[in-house]
């Protein structure tokens, strides 16, 4: 039953069929495939009644069982023309839209939806404005159908027979390929003029998009045709060359270079540069000199890594195991590498650190860099800077020079094959400079994390990123390295090995390595601790272990000869101890400094640092009658000579306290000598040693033979901080010293000294020279100086001068 209320008609409820991905317009006949049980039941209910059903699109097509809120409120009242059940259980139904309606009062049962509706369509007569709109739509739709081949051409003819504007708009909308949202919006537009304008606007937009698509298709087609044509012609050329027995090697080479450039992964700027040079190469004669230069340049651009990188092993436990496996000790360096890995793991991406290992030769700086690369899982590359004196060695030569090449940094990157290797710059302190430039200045850019992401090589003429590299430099001393370069590096000092450390390294690494190298086994040769220590003390003088390894190798060679002589099967195990060592290595080459057996006047044991470690340094002072001359011998450097003069001035200022005449220096000559005169010596740390020897010689008080000392002295007798404390204490331990005097400022440095070195040593830390003299000098005996002065005053000394005190 229906009731008329104005222009709308409210009727009884009808079944509702929710639609997915389709909108049915009035006057539109559409086949539908229905598979959901509720939808099939709604169709059956409609067929049992007057074959009328309400069709409305779902808001989300993915929802399988929509609720009333998920169905659009505006739909179409349709009649079922035909229904057919298919074998798979689905239903094919042919429906015809009658009029647009607004659904209300949804009623949901277990079987299907039903809803009441109100009709929204009303008759709209044609007027001039609507007539104009309809003609414009016909014109645009004709263009649309030509561009979109999916629109049937007969639709144009049927449009001309539609007089009613509303039906006309729905017919056009139904045959346009639009999104469901756009079609639903047109369905919900009740006002006919507005609906016609919307259809016209959508047509204009669709025509523009289709025209652009057509242009793109046309362009792609032309490109494909050109590519096919080029391919066809190239194939013909190859066939002709094959028939003639010729091959255009130059052209093939250019093609190969082009392929390599594409695969290299270069940055855009570099890629453009490479392609520009390749185009130049194409235009040149293959045998031209310039062609060779260009070809070499392109080869270099291709061969260096631009994108290939290795993934860091971020397992700290595994990295620590590898570092411990390869090297004994070196705690600081290992900690720094593990810290880097930890931060890398937390941050994700990190600029490569720039480390500088400083230490004497043979302590494992270079091998440690290799071990770091292995622990990180990176490639390793080494560049030796020893003797490099030309800036072009680092930055390369410009291509204008004959035989120009990139610098050694870029050459090394080619060998590394990845953008993030561990890069060792060996012997950075051995570089020099001349008229060709300063290579250390060129390294400033390489080793600056803020600049090296755009390193410029003169040969390449493009920026190259070095920021992912872990740079490690090595040096024996820091003094020759320029301050700006030093400032860019994180300095890690690697001190010389102690005797216990050398013993452990020999047992864990060196002996095993040399046994394998010489084809020997543990059953044929075994080194005892005493034998290794005998080699360390008597046949090597070094901070590292290179000479130790050579001497072990020498023993292995001699034992190998004996094994071959008697036969491998008959050879008995040879145990190498301290008694047998001279038999293989001869007389001991070195005698490390040892303390004096008894106290002496004017003789003090000092402690010195050398590149090969610490040494005991005896300082002698002899007082002669004379006229106040000061003689310094022992090949002393300027700083050490100044320290000696400062010590003399200090003793003069303390004459009253020491019990010597104030004018003593006017009647005597002082001779200060540091033995082993062929060896150059320098530095301020012998100041308190010289002052102690001088005070002893002038007062006649012997210096304790079991005391060694080191420290810089001032004119007021203050003791200043010195360096190389670990090595100096090692020398004291080895030489049998029991008491060591060090500056108070060095007290904190004792934390870095291994406990085995401090064992057996009593450390005294003083600020004043008075304390040093109080500890180092024994009780006074007859003062030779005063005695000499008294004799001078009484005229007992003749013309020939004799030493007042000699050793």
- H-type alpha helices, 31-93: 37-48
| 587 CB-side CA count, 13 A | 1
C-alpha distances in angstroms, 405 versus 398, 410, 411, 436, 442? Answer: 8, 9, 9, 16, 16
- Catalytic residue list: 685, 728
Contact 320, 456 (CB under 8 A): no
Element (H, E) at 30: strand 29-34
* Token digits of residue 371: 């071990």
In this structure, what token pair is assigned to residue 135? Answer: 């003609």
Separation of alpha carbons 165 and 122, rounded Å: 11
Q: Which of 786, 806, 774, 805 shows the shortest CA–CA distance to 662?
A: 786
Count the Cβ atoms, other than its own, within 10 Å of residue 11.
15
What's the rounded Cα separation, in Å, for the pair 740 and 754?
A: 16
Give the sign of the dihedral formed by CA 741, CA 742, CA 743, CA 746.
Answer: negative
Half-sphere exposure of 332 (CA within 13 A, CB side): 16
- On whether the CB atoms of residues 120 and 190 are closer than 8 A, the answer is yes
Contact between 708 and 638 (Cβ < 8 Å): no
Longest alpha-carbon distance in the chain: 159
Q: From CA 268, how far away is CA 166, in angstroms rounded? A: 57
Task: Return d(Cα 807, Cα 792) in angstroms, integer.
Answer: 23
CB neighbours (10 Å) of residue 308? 13
- Name the residue among 489, 263, 494, 248 with its Cα closest to residue 364: 494
Of 324, 333, 360, 335, nearest to 508 by C-alpha is 324
The CB-side HSE value for 625 (13 A sphere, CA atoms) comes to 18
Per residue, the 3-state secondary structure of 720-786, as one string, reads ECCCCHHHHHHHHHHHCCCEEEEEHHHHHHHHHCCHHHHCCCEEEEECEHHHHHHHHECCCCCCHHH
Q: Which residue has the tokens 């229906």?
A: 2
Instruction: Give CA separation, 796 vs 235, 270, 435, 666, 767, in Å.
Output: 119, 93, 66, 18, 42
Dihedral of the CA atoms 409, 411, 417, 418 (nearest 10)? 20
**SS in 3 state form for 551-564?**
HHHHHHHHHHHHHH
CB-based contact 590:539 (threshold 8 Å) = yes
Cβ(553)–Cβ(519) under 8 Å? no
**Cα angle 281, 284, 287; round to 5:** 105
How would you write 470-489 as a 3-class SS string?
EEEEEECCCCCCCHHHHHCC
> Which residue's entry shows tokens 């005698």?
591
Q: Are 170 and 164 in contact (CB under 8 A)?
A: no
Buried b (16+ CB within 10 A) or exposed e, 184-220: bbbbbbeebbebbbbbbebbeebbeebeeeeeeeeee
Q: Which two tokens stand for residue 265?
A: 């992964």
């Amino acid at each position: 039953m229906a009731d008329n209320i104005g222009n709308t008609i409210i009727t009884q409820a009808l079944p509702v069929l929710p639609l997915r991905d389709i909108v049915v317009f009035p006057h539109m006949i559409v086949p539908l495939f229905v598979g959901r049980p509720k939808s099939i039941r709604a169709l059956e209910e409609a067929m049992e009644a007057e074959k009328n059903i309400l069709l409305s699109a779902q808001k989300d097509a993915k929802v399988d069982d929509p609720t009333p809120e998920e169905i659009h409120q505006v739909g179409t009242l349709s009649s079922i023309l035909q229904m057919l059940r298919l074998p798979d259980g689905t239903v094919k139904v042919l429906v015809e839209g009658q009029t647009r309606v607004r659904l209300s009062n949804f009623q949901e049962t277990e079987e299907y939806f039903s809803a009441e509706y109100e009709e929204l369509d009303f008759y709209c007569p044609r007027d001039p404005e609507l007539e104009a709109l309809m003609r414009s739509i016909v014109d645009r739709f004709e263009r649309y159908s030509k561009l979109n081949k999916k629109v049937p051409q007969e639709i144009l003819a049927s449009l001309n027979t539609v007089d009613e504007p509303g039906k006309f708009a729905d017919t056009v909308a139904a045959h346009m390929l639009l999104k469901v949202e756009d079609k639903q919006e047109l369905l919900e537009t009740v006002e006919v003029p507005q609906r016609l304008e919307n259809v016209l606007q959508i047509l204009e937009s669709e025509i523009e998009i289709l025209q652009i698509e057509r242009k793109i298709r046309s362009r792609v087609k032309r490109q494909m045709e050109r590519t096919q044509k080029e391919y066809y012609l190239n194939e013909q050329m190859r066939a002709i060359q094959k028939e003639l027995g010729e091959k255009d090697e130059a052209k093939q080479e250019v093609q190969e270079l082009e392929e390599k450039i594409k695969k290299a992964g270069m940055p855009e700027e570099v890629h453009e540069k490479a392609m520009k040079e390749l185009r130049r190469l194409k235009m040149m004669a293959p045998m031209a000199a310039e062609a060779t230069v260009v070809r070499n340049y392109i080869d270099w651009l291709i061969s260096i890594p631009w994108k290939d990188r290795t993934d860091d092993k971020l397992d700290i436990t595994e990295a620590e195991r590898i570092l411990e496996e390869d090297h004994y000790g070196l705690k600081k360096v290992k900690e720094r590498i593990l810290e880097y890995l930890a931060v890398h793991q937390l941050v994700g991406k990190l600029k490569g650190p720039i480390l500088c290992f400083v230490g004497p030769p043979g302590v494992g700086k270079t091998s440690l860099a290799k071990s770091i690369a292995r622990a990180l899982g990176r490639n390793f590359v080494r560049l030796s800077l020893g003797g490099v004196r030309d800036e072009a060695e680092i930055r390369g030569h410009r291509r204008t020079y004959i035989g120009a090449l990139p610098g050694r940094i870029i050459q090394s990157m080619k060998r590394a094959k990845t953008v993030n290797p561990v890069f060792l710059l060996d012997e950075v302190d051995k570089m020099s400079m001349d008229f060709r430039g300063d290579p250390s200045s060129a390294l400033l850019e390489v080793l600056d994390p803020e600049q090296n992401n755009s390193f410029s090589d003169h040969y390449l003429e493009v920026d190259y990123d070095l920021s992912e590299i872990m740079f490690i430099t090595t040096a024996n001393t820091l003094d020759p390295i320029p301050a700006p370069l030093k400032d860019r590096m994180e300095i890690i000092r690697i001190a010389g090995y102690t005797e216990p450390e050398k013993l452990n390294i020999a047992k864990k690494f060196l002996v095993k390595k040399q046994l394998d190298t010489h084809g020997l086994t543990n059953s044929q040769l075994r080194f005892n601790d005493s034998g290794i220590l005998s080699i360390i003390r008597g046949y090597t003088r070094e901070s590292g272990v290179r000479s130790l390894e050579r001497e072990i190798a020498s023993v292995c060679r001699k034992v190998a000869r004996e094994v071959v002589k008697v036969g491998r099967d008959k050879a008995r195990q040879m145990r190498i101890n301290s008694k047998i060592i001279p038999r293989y290595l001869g007389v001991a080459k070195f005698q490390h400094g040892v303390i004096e057996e008894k106290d002496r006047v004017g003789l003090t044991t000092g402690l010195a640092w050398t590149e090969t470690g610490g040494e005991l340094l005896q300082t002698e002072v002899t007082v002669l009658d004379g006229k106040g001359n000061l003689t310094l011998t022992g090949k002393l450097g300027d700083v050490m000579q100044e320290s000696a003069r400062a010590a003399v001035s200090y003793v003069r200022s303390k004459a009253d306290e020491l019990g010597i005449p104030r004018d003593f220096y006017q009647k005597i000559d002082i001779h200060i000598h540091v033995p082993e005169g062929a060896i150059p010596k320098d530095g301020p740390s012998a100041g308190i040693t010289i002052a102690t020897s001088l005070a002893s010689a002038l007062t006649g008080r012997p210096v304790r033979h079991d005391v060694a000392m080191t420290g810089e002295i001032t004119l007021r007798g203050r003791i200043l901080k010195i360096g190389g404390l670990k090595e100096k204490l090692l020398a004291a331990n080895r030489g049998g010293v029991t008491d060591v005097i060090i500056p108070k400022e060095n007290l904190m440095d004792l934390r870095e000294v291994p406990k085995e070195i401090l064992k057996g040593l009593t450390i005294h830390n003083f600020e004043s020279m008075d304390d040093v003299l109080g500890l180092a000098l024994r009780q006074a005996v007859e003062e030779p100086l005063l005695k000499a002065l008294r004799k001078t005053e009484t005229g007992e000394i003749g013309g020939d001068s004799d030493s007042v005190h000699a050793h």
